[in-house]
Structure 1
Amino acid sequence: MIDFIPLADYTPFFHYSILILVLVAFWQCNNGIILHKNIVSMNAVWGVLFTLLLILYMGLRPVSGVFGDTTNYANGFWGIQRSSEPFTWVWEDDWLFYNLYAWFAKYSDIHTFFLLCAFIYVGSLWLAMQRIFKSYYYIPLLVIFGMFTFWNYGVNGIRNGMGASVFILAMTYINRLPIAILLSIIATGFHKSCTLMAGAAIAAWFIKNSYLYLLAWIGCVGVSYAAGMRIQSYLATIGIFGDDDRFSGYLTGSNMVGETVQMSMVFRWDFLIYSAMGVFVGYYFIFRRNFRDEYYHWLYNTFLITNAFWVLVIRSAYSNRFAQISWFIMPVILIYPFMKQRFWQNHEKILGAALLVFYAFTFYFNIVKG
């Protein structure tokens, strides 16, 4: 366990480290060297080292309420350890996570378990970016690390983070369907919300018209603004996720009872603006710059579907947990065209400016607002 860093500084240390990396990348872009082979190779090596350090830093954190649900996971873990019941495999919601959780509680310790979670969460994203961008993966990975909810889903919404990361990895195996399907099953085993990601990816694969998805997203914004609470009430009553009442609890606000942090169930313009950045970037490159890349179109359409679902329930308690389903895809939407094609004579400088814009929301929420 890493206990020599004060708890109050533990999370800020991560955020300031990412800020420094973003500024260094901006400097490389502004000097026109970011895509030079020697810089790409150097960044690729650093990307491996930083990923390993991050896994250790995140996975070996102290058990503290500073890290949100870390304490809840730990208390449940220790409860299983104290129980005299032997480990048995069970099939229930988030079955893979809970079986790993119970097995480690019986045969290992909480820090090893959290280290495994961090390895799956961060390592899957590293491998996914390496598969998509090859040796140029560092900047896309940095954009992911710079997502304003990235740290939270490594130490707080752990199941969601693990599942979404594995599903992003599954999306890189689209030409090897058995592996993609296996990884998708693993992702849904970590968190049920990944079924929405899988369903969106399947729909986007067969219906490829990005213009229709874009219009649908805009329509969902209007409908949600006008009648969002009625939509949420309806979804809460039909049991869209079967016997799991967590979803209904978020929609009605009942899940906030007893929670330390109480969320306002209002139309989240801030989160909508953040999501709109991904919508606009995809629109710009696909429709304005005529970027013809079938894989990118598929990712963009999947993002629009999942984000449109969140827009419909934007007033729900902890709505960022639904937005996160699409936000995991958004960093790839933002950076993919920049890394695959030159669009401007001063492409590197515009890439650097884009990195700062992409990071601005994170800088405000995690560093300025704290």
Structure 2
Amino acid sequence: MIDIITLNLYIEWIIIISVVVYNLRQQRNLMPIGNVNQSEFLFVIFIGIIFIVLFGFRDYTSSIAGDSWLYEYSYQHCVPLSAITNLDFKGEWLWELIMMACREVGFSSTEWFVLIAAIYIVPVIIGCRIISPNSPLTPFVFFIASFLFTTNGINGIRNADGCSLVFWAICIIIQSPKLKTLLLTSPLLIAAYCIHQSTIMLTLPLITSIYVIKNTKIVVFIWGLTIILSLLFGNHLANAIALFSDNDRAIGYINAGDSGRIMQAFSKSGFRWDFLLYSALPIVVGWIITIKQGVTDQGYKILLNTYILSNAIWVVFIYAAYSNRFAMLSWFLYPFVLAIPFTRMKLTPNLLYYSKIILWIEFGTTIILRNL
């Protein structure tokens, strides 16, 4: 097994190398939009396999491995699939089914973690290929340089797996945002929900962005309104909403004190201006592109609006002790909202320059937040 400190060092070096490769490739013109860049896609697959192996072979017994030891404990104490006489299709049953199936075939804890890492990484690779065939490296590099990439791969693996499946579905939907496409991708959205129910806070904003609120100005207004309401009413607003929820885990995140163990470094209560400023970058970039520049890419607008609405849900719960658990959902889309404009529209030298600047800002912010 790879100890966590060494793992983080490997990951940071791989990210740096990938960012450098991205910058070098951007010195050349991208392929025309719609064309397939096979060499970039193979490089993305290669890097993805490395990350799957690193996350899978991590030291899950380490005191700094977050919830990894709990996941391993749950896996070792779940019963094999053959011992189940009546499978209960309630709650997050698909996650339980994956564990039981792996126990049935005799997977070790490390082999199970490799599979879970693959469920996290592979849908993202496929999604990058779908939404950016001319440069799949662009969204993938933004993804691995993001704040939550390593955290999701080590600590929040179930949330990461669910969000990854939702992202895969989003990539298919924004290519052809029709009811037929939504129905086609519904198995992915349902599977994500059955792995981690909180992914509904991505699915509902997605559906809203397609059928209800298509105007980005209105979506940004809603986001701003939730900030004002949170400042005025504090956690009373989150507590009122929690009364309508029967999800014990979600209620626990809202009402827990600061003494909890879960992601303690980021479990501060109060209005999180640091997280809010971090969340604002894709919104600012999206506003400039869609409102100021007048870009009419429907797929990008759906992705942007989905991010803003899901982030607005987090703002409602911003005073909660573990509000980061809600923020993580929208932040999964964060790197893709930043990256996609630079691959889905005709690039000028200025846009190429801005893409590099934004990537380095994102990566720099990641390094700072990881070391706070």
**TM-score normalised to structure 2 length:** 0.89
The residue number in structure 2 matching 1:51 is 48
The structural deviation recorded for 1:63 is: 2.2
Aligned with 2:219 (options 202, 208, 213): 213
For residues 121-160 of structure 1, what are the structure 2 equivalents within 5 Å? 121-160=120-159
Cα deviation, 1:103-126, whole Å, max 9, x if unaligned, reads 323432222221111111100000
Q: Distance in 1 between matches of 2:341 and 2:80?
A: 52
Q: Structure 1 segments of 4 or more deviating over 6 A?
A: none
Code of the residue aligned with 2:302 in structure 1: it is: W
1:92–1:364 CA distance, 2 compared to 1 (3 A)? same
Gap runs ≥5 in structure 1: none
Code of the residue aligned with 2:57 in structure 1: it is: L
Which moved further from structure 2: 264-273 or 87-96? 87-96
The structural deviation recorded for 1:187 is: 0.8
Q: Distance in 1 between matches of 2:13 and 2:235?
A: 38
The residue number in structure 1 matching 2:102 is 104
The structural deviation recorded for 1:81 is: 5.5
The structural deviation recorded for 1:99 is: 1.5
Contact 2:81 2:101 in 1 (8 A): no
For residues 1-370 of structure 1, what are the structure 2 equivalents within 5 Å? 3=1, 5-29=2-26, 32-33=27-28, 35=30, 41-65=38-62, 66-80=64-78, 86=84, 88-108=86-106, 109-174=108-173, 175=176, 176-207=181-212, 208-236=214-242, 238-240=243-245, 242=246, 244-253=247-256, 256-257=259-260, 261=264, 263-342=267-346, 344-366=348-370, 369=371
Gap runs ≥5 in structure 2: none
Q: Distance in 2 between matches of 1:345 and 1:215?
A: 32
Aligned identity (percent) is 25
Q: Secondary structure at the match of 1:302?
A: helix
Which moved further from structure 2: 99-108 or 149-158? 99-108
The structural deviation recorded for 1:135 is: 3.8
Contact 1:77 1:101 in 2 (8 A): yes
Q: Distance in 1 between matches of 2:12 and 2:261?
A: 29
Code of the residue aligned with 1:115 in structure 2: it is: V
1:194–1:178 CA distance, 2 compared to 1 (3 A)? same
1:23–1:87 CA distance, 2 compared to 1 (3 A)? farther
Q: Distance in 2 between matches of 1:300 and 1:102?
A: 37
Q: Secondary structure at the match of 2:264?
A: coil
Instruction: Tell me how many residue pairs correspond in the alignment.
Output: 360
Contact 2:159 2:196 in 1 (8 A): yes
Code of the residue aligned with 1:105 in structure 2: it is: R
Which moved further from structure 2: 160-169 or 330-339? 330-339
1:329–1:258 CA distance, 2 compared to 1 (3 A)? closer
Q: Distance in 1 between matches of 2:80 and 2:336?
A: 43
The structural deviation recorded for 1:347 is: 3.1
Q: Distance in 2 between matches of 1:259 and 1:161?
A: 16
1:298–1:143 CA distance, 2 compared to 1 (3 A)? same
Q: Secondary structure at the match of 2:149?
A: coil
Q: Distance in 1 between matches of 2:48 and 2:231?
A: 40
Q: Distance in 2 between matches of 1:18 and 1:210?
A: 32
Cα deviation, 1:282-305, whole Å, max 9, x if unaligned, reads 111000111111111111111111
